[in-house]
């Protein structure tokens, strides 16, 4: 009998990987914007048409790429962010898997324009379904622009699975909001079908929160600040009287990365115990900063889950931090703490 195992061509391997990372237009938004943040950009513009079906474009003023790097960026497992296995325990960037661009290019038509600040000319690359169609020098602003057109043009099942435009755009807004909230010092804007939806000048965290949720939330915010050798916690929680019956305004960021954690959510809820009726959810937006060696972000391709070396410890610190915040701001009687 002849042997039957073959290595898959890159284009197919990339499409399989894309199935995990690129589920809908919002996933493209997340990956492109995270790349712009990692590139040190101070100004990031997102342009969307038809809820991302026909166009998702991210324009940044970050470091840009050389001609060779621009070409390399579409290869799978190609990254400038880690070099060795040890680096996996010291991750400070949003990306490190080197998979996003290869995945996106395998299921869409992509136009990349990029120029490093020190270069006179930039590079224009057109790619489609994992194939680079053309590469040429071009005049372009310093930084990078990725335009992703006709997402899932070659994956009808995925295209048909997409929900109504309002739903897909809501997902895009969710990703956009998470990134802008984690990067208050960066200028962001969002345009949908030709009109500007967000215009967010750089500022502090409170200003950014107001920019996203509206000025009315200003008086509802209670600051939280707690620092130990192991973890730094800062951000805001909402006054209990403004808690809502529906979830959705709860945010954790670990080392600037938005994550979901029912365990940490429980820690915050337990801090509110006496002051919140059951099944009411307070606003919270909390940044946890922790030595990257103490967490594992490589749990899931979309990186929305992480593992802590000692999650009970994090739970307890978080609960104490929120209680302190609420106590100090007269929301609940100041309680005695061990520290
Ligand atoms: P990862 O972010 O995990 O490294 P990606 O596939 O998202 O992988 O990107 C591959 C590489 O392309 C990045 O490591 C980076 O060097 C480069 N790159 C991508 N987007 C940009 C950008 N907006 N500006 C500068 N470099 C970029
Ligand atoms: Mg990336």
35 Cα: distance to centroid of ligand 1 (angstroms): 5
Closest atom of ligand 1 relative to the 94 alpha carbon: 2
Could you confirm whether domain 10-200 is CATH 3.50.40.10? no
Ligand nearest to the CA of 122: 1
What does the pLDDT read at residue 333? 58
| Closest ligand to residue 143's CA | 1
Whether domain 216-328 has CATH 3.30.230.10: the reply is: yes
Nearest to 151, CA basis, from 128, 118, 125: 128
**To which residue do tokens 């499409």 refer?**
15
ipTM of this predicted structure? 0.99
> Which residues, 6 or more positions from 237, have their beta carbon under 8 angstroms from its beta carbon?
221, 222, 224, 268, 282, 283, 284, 285, 286, 322, 325, 326
Counting from 1 in the atom list of ligand 1, the atom nearest the Cα of 60 is 23
Tell me, what's the pLDDT at 329? 82
C-alpha 155 – ligand 1 centre gap (Å): 24
Per-residue pLDDT of the chain (339 residues; tens, 9 = 90+): 899 999 999 889 888 888 888 999 999 999 999 999 999 999 999 999 999 999 999 999 999 999 999 999 999 999 999 999 899 888 899 999 899 999 999 999 999 999 999 999 999 999 999 999 999 999 999 999 999 999 999 999 999 999 999 999 999 999 999 999 999 999 999 999 999 999 999 999 999 999 999 999 999 999 999 999 999 999 999 999 999 998 889 999 999 999 999 999 999 999 998 898 888 999 999 999 999 999 988 888 888 889 999 999 999 999 999 999 999 887 765 554 444
Q: Which atom of ligand 1 is nearest to the CA of 63?
A: 25
Please choose, from the candidates 19, 24, 20, 11, the residue with its C-alpha nearest in 3D space to the C-alpha of residue 75.
11
How many angstroms does the Cα of residue 12 sit away from the middle of ligand 2?
A: 20
Cα–ligand 1 centroid distance for 82 (angstroms): 11
**Residue 197: what pLDDT?**
97
Q: Which ligand is nearest to the CA of 117?
A: 1
Tell me whether residue 78 is exposed, middle or buried, using C-beta atoms within 10 angstroms of its C-beta: 0 to 12, 13 to 18, 19 or more: middle
How do residues 214-268 score in pLDDT, each as one tens digit?
A: 999 999 999 999 999 999 999 999 999 999 998 889 999 999 999 999 999 999 9
The pLDDT value recorded for residue 301 is 80
Q: SS3 breakdown of the chain: % helix, strand, coil, rounded to 5?
A: 35, 25, 35
Say yes or no: do domains 10-200 and 216-328 share a fold.
no
Dist. CA 302 → ligand 1 center (Å): 15
Confidence (pLDDT) at 335: 54
Write the pLDDT tens digit of every residue in 62-82: 999 999 999 999 999 999 999
**Which ligand approaches the C-alpha of residue 142 most closely?**
1
Mutate to test the pocket of ligand 1, among 18, 28, 34, 35 (most ligand atoms within 8 A of CB): 35
Task: Domain ranges for the chain, please list them.
Answer: 10-200, 216-328
Distance (Å) from CA 287 to ligand 2 centroid: 21
What distance in Å separates the CA atoms of residue 17 and residue 118, rounded to the nearest whole number?
34
Q: What residues are in contact with ligand 1 under a 6 Å CB criterion?
A: 31, 35-36, 39, 60, 62-65, 73, 78-81, 95-101, 144
Q: Which atom of ligand 1 is nearest to the CA of 98?
A: 8
Out of 27, 73, 123, give the residue to mutate to test ligand 1, the one with the largest number of ligand atoms within 8 Å of its CB. 73
* Rounded CA separation 134/113 (Å): 12
How high is the mean pLDDT of the chain? 94
Centre of ligand 1 from the C-alpha of residue 332, in Å: 46
Query: Which ligand 1 atom sits nearest the alpha carbon of residue 146?
Result: 23
How far is ligand 1, taken at its centre, from the CA of residue 74, in Å? 9
């Amino acid at each position: 009998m002849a042997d039957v195992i073959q290595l898959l061509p890159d284009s197919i391997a990339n499409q399989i990987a894309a199935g995990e990372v690129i589920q809908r237009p919002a996933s493209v938004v997340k990956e492109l914007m995270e790349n712009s943040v990692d590139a040190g950009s101070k100004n990031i513009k997102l342009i969307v048409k038809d809820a991302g079906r026909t166009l998702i474009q991210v324009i940044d003023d970050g470091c840009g790429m050389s001609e060779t790097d621009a070409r390399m960026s579409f290869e799978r497992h190609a990254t400038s962010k880690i070099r060795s296995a040890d680096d996996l325990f010291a991750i400070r960037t949003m990306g490190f898997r080197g998979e996003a661009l290869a995945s996106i290019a395998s299921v869409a038509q992509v136009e990349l324009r990029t120029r490093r600040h020190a270069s006179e000319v930039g590079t224009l690359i057109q790619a489609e379904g994992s194939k680079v169609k053309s590469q040429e020098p071009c005049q372009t602003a310093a930084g990078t622009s990725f335009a992703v057109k006709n997402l899932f043009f070659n994956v009808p099942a995925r295209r048909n699975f997409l929900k109504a435009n309002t739903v897909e755009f809501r997902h895009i807004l969710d990703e956009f909001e998470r990134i802008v909230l984690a990067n208050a010092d960066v200028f962001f804007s969002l345009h949908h079908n030709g009109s500007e939806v967000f215009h967010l000048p750089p500022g502090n965290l409170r200003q950014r929160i107001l920019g996203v949720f509206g000025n009315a939330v200003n008086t509802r915010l209670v600051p939280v600040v707690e620092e130990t050798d192991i973890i730094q916690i800062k951000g805001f929680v909402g006054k209990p009287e403004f808690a809502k019956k529906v979830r959705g305004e709860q945010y954790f960021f670990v080392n600037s990365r938005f994550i979901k954690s029912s365990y940490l959510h429980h820690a915050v809820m337990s801090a509110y115990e006496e002051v919140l009726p059951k099944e009411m959810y307070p606003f919270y937006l909390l940044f946890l900063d922790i030595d990257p060696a103490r967490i594992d972000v490589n749990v899931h391709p979309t990186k929305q889950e992480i593992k802590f070396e000692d999650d009970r410890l994090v739970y307890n610190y978080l609960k104490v931090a929120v209680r302190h915040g609420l106590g100090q701001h007269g929301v609940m009687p100041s309680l005695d703490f061990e520290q």
